Structure 1
Amino acid sequence: MKKLSRKELFSHVESLLGQYCEGCFVHQQFKKEGGRRVAHRFCISQCTVGEKLQEYGKRLT
């Protein structure tokens, strides 16, 4: 994968969050049924967008 600057990585993260995560029905449903912690765990461990965000996070450090 191409080496991106920190600014470009943050831009990619912001676009992913804005495009997919804001108003996510799955997140809202999990939050309603199991609480905020269950919804967050889903986003981190099972959601493909969450996995991509983690990949960007690892590249920032």
Structure 2
Amino acid sequence: MKNSSRQELFNRVESLLGQYCNGCFVHQQFKQDGGRRFAHRFCISQCTVGEKLQEYGKKLT
């Protein structure tokens, strides 16, 4: 993979995190109710933004 396309993927990831994940109310609420692991597991397995982040991660490896 070319360095410029990797950089583009990193930029997309940063954009998604900044736009949707920072200050996410659902994550904060799940963290209070079920703990940090519960909230993180939700973000990875059920959140649409988390699924998109995983897709970008697979392209980077």
- The alignment's TM-score, normalised by the length of structure 1, stands at 0.93
Q: Which runs of 4+ in 1 moved over 3 A?
A: none
What are the superposed Cα offsets for residues 3-41 of structure 1, whole Å, 9 maximum, x if unpaired? x71000000000000000000000000000000000000
Q: Gaps spanning 5+ residues in structure 2: where?
A: none
Percent identity, please. 84
- The alignment's TM-score, normalised by the length of structure 2, stands at 0.93
Q: Report the aligned-residue RMSD.
A: 1.0
Which amino acid in the other structure matches residue 50 of structure 2?
Answer: G
Q: Gaps spanning 5+ residues in structure 1: where?
A: none
What corresponds to 1:35 in structure 2?
A: 35
Q: How many residues align?
A: 58
Instruction: Name whichever structure is richer in helix by fraction.
Output: 2
